[in-house]
Structure 1
Amino acid sequence: MAAGFGLVVRFTLRSPEAAEGFDELASRTLEGIRRHEHGTVVYVNHRVPGEPHVRLFYELYEDRAAFDAHEQQPHTRNFLEAREKFVAKTEVTFLERLDGKA
């Protein structure tokens, strides 16, 4: 099983109303990821039940180099800049796979 490189990002939005704009921004970013990032295996925006002002991203890359390439993409750089108007807090947790099914 390949090691991969993963992370979970928890975004606390400025308000529940900010969710619509944030979700639209994430969807536009995902269009670029789908078209240009072959090393991005999984990139999913999740809603958290009972927490309308929270979004959780799960990201899995083939390796660290694929993640680094993702960070340099124009659609990612745009997301990182534009998200600030919607996000109050960002928490990033990097992951190391122990076991699983892929």
Structure 2
Amino acid sequence: MSEAFGLVVQFTLHDEPAAAAFDALVERTVAGIATQEPGTVAYLVHRVADRPLVRVFYELYADKAAFDAHEQQPHTVRFLAERGQFVSRFEVTWLQAPAGKMPAV
């Protein structure tokens, strides 16, 4: 588990229409992640109770190389290029190796 690489990203969206468009972009992105990224251990997108314009991503990769591969995938490149039109701010928290239970990778 010591090589695992993770991050949490919090996005604040402009307004409800931007949130709906962002969610659609996320759906297309997650479809690519699910089928084309064996090194992505977990990629979860959460809505936040009582904060309808906030999304929180939890991402866990087998290692830094898996994260780097994720960043180069066409679906991720598209997400990174298009997200700015919907997002008023975002914050990334980089995580060190996890403690706890994790699926074998």
Q: TM-score range by the shorter chain?
A: over 0.9
RMSD value over aligned CA atoms?
1.1
SS in 2 for 1:17: helix
Residue matched to 2:11: 11
State whether residues 3 and 63 of structure 2, in contact with CA within 8 Å, keep that contact through their aligned partners in structure 1.
yes
TM-score (norm 1): 0.94
Tell me the alpha carbon deviations over residues 6-44 of structure 1, each in whole angstroms, 9 at most, x when there is no partner: 000000101133111111100100111111100001001
Mark the runs of 5 or more structure 1 residues left unpaired by the alignment: none
Could you list the structure 1 runs, at least 4 aligned residues long, displaced by more than 6 angstroms after superposition.
none
Task: Indicate the larger mover: 64-73 or 14-23.
Answer: 14-23
- Aligned pair count reads 102
Three-state SS of the structure 1 residue aligned to 2:23 is helix
Q: Deviations over 1:27-78 (max 9, x none)?
A: 1001111111000010011000011010000000000000000001110000
Q: What CA distance in whole angstroms lies between the structure 2 residues aligned with 1:35 and 1:8? A: 21
- Matched residues, percent identical? 57
Name the structure 2 match of 1:82. Answer: 82
Give 5+ residue unaligned stretches, structure 2.
none
Is 1:24–2:21 an aligned residue pair? no
Q: How many angstroms apart in 1 are the aligned matches of 2:99 and 2:29?
A: 30
User: Could you tell me the TM-score, scaled by structure 2's length?
Assistant: 0.92
